[in-house]
Chains A and B, each alone.
Chain A
């Protein structure tokens, strides 16, 4: 049994790790002995090929730059990354939104707030009357040039979906870095002071808990109740909802799985827990993902694995065509077992 590997403070890309290459990640997963391929599992549920049900959410990944370097990051984000969406690409996103009625824009990264055009983009999306979700790591609000983010979020009525793997400091810091828990709690307290999480203001703050290790969370509702009790009692923090996400076996989490000797059993457990109901509700059926360079993907995970949308569909947001995208088949591979295990997992938590 291996000990916990030392915390990696840099991205796979900056270390020139072989696993920085998406093809190497997919090959690592493909080398595992699994009883059946993901597409066969989908077929058993009558879902192959997987088709979209529409686009309810445009998820825009505005870059891989981040102030943190979390161990489980599927983006391989960090301060050493340079990829960042240009204003021109954001304008293409806005044009696509203006031509459609897509109700929600989900902005992610990296730390999306570190994109120099972030606030402009949020204001423009809000001006189109669309709901904005910001996937926030919380500690960004504790950095010199972003201290006023909570006020900006409140002013623009942005839903803040933020990472907090556990209500215990040791667990959170183990995954996200020393001192992250304390800074995250301070950020949540500032959001609460503005009305976030009070259930009356309409300002929503949602917590996202990723397991700190090679396992999945069994019951999102029970976990939410426990978070609610512990965070209120220990820190006076309130929130609207808790999403439990399964860690996807790609990028830095894949590296940790390999180094800790947990990869085979983890992926096998995900595959064995394939749930047809969760598969029917996977987020890629109702979400479209845009990369920092405008490239289109079925989800943020496919984006990181360089698996673009169906070749017959538009490949870039500048060529956005909702009708053509609706006819696409969703690209899948073994990592997709991460979204269909047990109660399912998505950017909106459990799916069944």
Chain B
């Protein structure tokens, strides 16, 4: 294998279908439906996808959702705001986890 996370990989992502067509079809149907416009617009859902791609650190998804964002008229200015919102929440989550330490200390400290 030449490299992990090659940017040509996305073009043959669909080859995974052959290993379990039935489950693949279920997932594709769910995935497609979940990203259709509903109460949220497609643009809003693309930004949700982009934020998840960042936190999950998936290069394929970051590439894919950036391309989708471009096609939806979103720019790096939009994506930068989304990235900062995502990053700040991650920082907030770190701080929130510090509550566990705080609680332990409250309970066991003197």
Pairing of A with B = yes
| Measured CA separation A217–B75 after assembly (Å) | 12
Give the interface residue-count category, chain B.
10 to 19
Q: Across the interface, which residues of B come within 8 angstroms of A226, CB to CB? A: 43, 73
| Measured CA separation A227–B73 after assembly (Å) | 9
Residue of A168, A216, A218, A219 touching B75 (CB-CB under 8 A): A168
Cβ of B77 under 8 Å from chain A? yes
Residue ID in chain A nearest B70 by CB atoms: A215
Q: Across the interface, which residues of B come within 8 angstroms of A215, CB to CB? A: 67, 70-71
Cβ of A166 under 8 Å from chain B? yes
Q: With both chains docked as a complex, state the minimum distance between the C-beta of A268 and any C-beta of chain B, in angstroms.
A: 9
Q: Across the interface, which residues of A come within 8 angstroms of B43, CB to CB? A: 222, 226
Residue ID in chain B nearest A242 by CB atoms: B73
Residue ID in chain B nearest A215 by CB atoms: B70
B70 and A219 form a contact (CB under 8 A)? no
| Measured CA separation A298–B75 after assembly (Å) | 34
Give the interface residue-count category, chain A.
10 to 19
Q: Across the interface, which residues of A come within 8 angstroms of B67, CB to CB? A: 215
Q: With both chains docked as a complex, state the minimum distance between the C-beta of B41 and any C-beta of chain A, in angstroms.
A: 7
Q: Chain B 70-93, CB within 8 Å of chain A: the 1/0 string?
A: 111101010000000000000000
- CB < 8 Å A-B pair total: 35
Q: With both chains docked as a complex, state the minimum distance between the C-beta of B109 and any C-beta of chain A, in angstroms.
A: 52
| Measured CA separation A219–B42 after assembly (Å) | 10
Residue ID in chain B nearest A342 by CB atoms: B71
A217 and B41 form a contact (CB under 8 A)? no
Cβ of A171 under 8 Å from chain B? yes
Contacts A219-B42, A222-B41, A226-B43 known; A170 to B71 CB distance under 8 Å? no
| Measured CA separation A215–B70 after assembly (Å) | 7
B70 and A166 form a contact (CB under 8 A)? no
Q: Across the interface, which residues of A come within 8 angstroms of B70, CB to CB? A: 211, 213, 215
Interface residues of A (CB under 8 A from B): 166, 168, 170-171, 209, 211-213, 215-219, 222-223, 226-227
**Seed contacts A215-B67, A226-B73; 16 additional CB < 8 Å A-B pairs:** A168-B77, A170-B75, A170-B77, A171-B75, A209-B73, A211-B70, A211-B71, A215-B70, A215-B71, A216-B71, A217-B72, A219-B42, A222-B42, A223-B72, A226-B43, A227-B73
